[in-house]
Amino acid sequence: MTGVDHSGWADYLLGAVDDRREVAAIAAQIDGGLSIEDGYAIQAALLEKHLARGDGVAGAKLGLTSAAKQKQMGVSEPCYGWVLESSVARASGGAAVDVAVGELIHPRAEPELIFVLGEDLAGPGVTASDVLDATAAVVGGIELIDSRYEAFSFTLADVIADNTSAARMVVGADGIGPRDADLTTLGCLFEVDGQITGTATGAALLGDPAACVAMLANHLGREGQALREGWIIPAGAPCDAQRLAAGGRASARYSHLGAVAVRGV
Ligand code: OOG
Ligand code: MG
């Protein structure tokens, strides 16, 4: 690893969150750019700072696991990040969950298939079938991503440093057992402000959402870390993220999982 100041860049990103302002991407400011390893080291330093402020870990997430998202963001590989306790909102019934968009910089909404773990899951060697065995429920959700970078533009290492743009995670109320439906054919219809902006099935997530979660468990396993019982694991958006403004509404309707909606306030 190079002489990149991981803690300093984590402070830089935390400052952007606190001040609700976009900042220049990091890689372009470093001679030779930013490596993926340095990106994860900045992400780890950022997590430590959130925990030191009293936040907790509610789960871990995947990003850029669909062709739609990779194309939208111009990045061709998946990434992994953390779901903070303070970011999670739980939907009750079918009511839309209010999200205070003024607390964010330039939020975008995207649908998420979320695995709720009933057991720890530690890589290496975790398979999609192991993921289903360790899963208590699969629920639908909507993530509000909010890149801290100018114009929502970044390299893979930048978005990793920025905890994969994580900002808010709305978790649906109606779960199913992991083998109650074929997750690869489970459908999602995403609507923003009354317009259908995307449709997809679970297979949009690298062929199988459970395989995505296995990749995440194996990634953490390489760092000596594990996914924990009770954590929520969003597998990544199967279709494009859309700007959510105050007064705007996004809804994700899933087969088997019901609907989840958010309202920008
Ligand atoms: C990166 C975050 C990606 C997903 O589901 O693909 C992500 C971004 O698009 O800003 O959470
Ligand atoms: Mg996401």
Any domain includes 110: yes
237 within ligand 1 shell (Cβ under 6 A)? yes
Question: pLDDT value at position 2?
Answer: 66
Alpha carbon of 74 to ligand 2 centroid (Å):
15
- Owning domain of residue 216: 56-264
Cβ contacts of 263 within 8 Å, gap of 6 or more: 96, 97, 98, 99, 248, 249
Query: Cα–Cα distances in Å, from 50 out to 21, 47, 54, 199?
Result: 18, 5, 7, 34
191 within ligand 1 shell (Cβ under 6 A)? no
Predicted structure pTM score: 0.98
239 within ligand 1 shell (Cβ under 6 A)? no
Any domain includes 82: yes
Name the residue at shortest CA distance from atom 10 of ligand 1: 165
Any domain includes 22: no
Alpha carbon of 166 to ligand 1 centroid (Å):
8
Any domain includes 8: no
pLDDT single digits (tens) 104-139: 999 999 999 999 999 999 999 999 999 999 999 999
Any domain includes 37: no
CATH number of the domain residue 251 falls in: 3.90.850.10
Most informative mutation of 43, 65, 71, 73 for ligand 1 (most atoms within 8 A of CB): 73
Query: Cα–Cα distances in Å, from 263 out to 66, 84, 170, 245?
Result: 25, 21, 11, 9
Question: pLDDT value at position 9?
Answer: 98
Any domain includes 35: no
Question: pLDDT value at position 257?
Answer: 96
Domain count, the chain: 1
Ligand 1 atom with the smallest distance to the CA of 69 is 6
Question: pLDDT value at position 237?
Answer: 98
Ligand 1 atom with the smallest distance to the CA of 152 is 10
143 within ligand 1 shell (Cβ under 6 A)? yes
Alpha carbon of 236 to ligand 1 centroid (Å):
7
Ligand 1 atom with the smallest distance to the CA of 66 is 6
pLDDT single digits (tens) 170-201: 999 989 999 999 999 999 999 999 999 999 99
Question: pLDDT value at position 140?
Answer: 98
Name the residue at shortest CA distance from atom 8 of ligand 1: 165
Any domain includes 178: yes
CB atoms within 10 A of CB 85: 13
Alpha carbon of 3 to ligand 2 centroid (Å):
30
Query: Cα–Cα distances in Å, from 46 out to 18, 38, 99?
Result: 13, 12, 23
| pLDDT averaged per 10 residues in sequence order, the chain, 265 residues | 89 98 98 96 98 98 97 96 98 92 98 98 97 98 98 98 98 95 98 98 98 98 96 98 98 97 98
Alpha carbon of 108 to ligand 1 centroid (Å):
10
140 in Cβ contact with 181 (< 8 Å): no
107 within ligand 1 shell (Cβ under 6 A)? no
Any domain includes 19: no
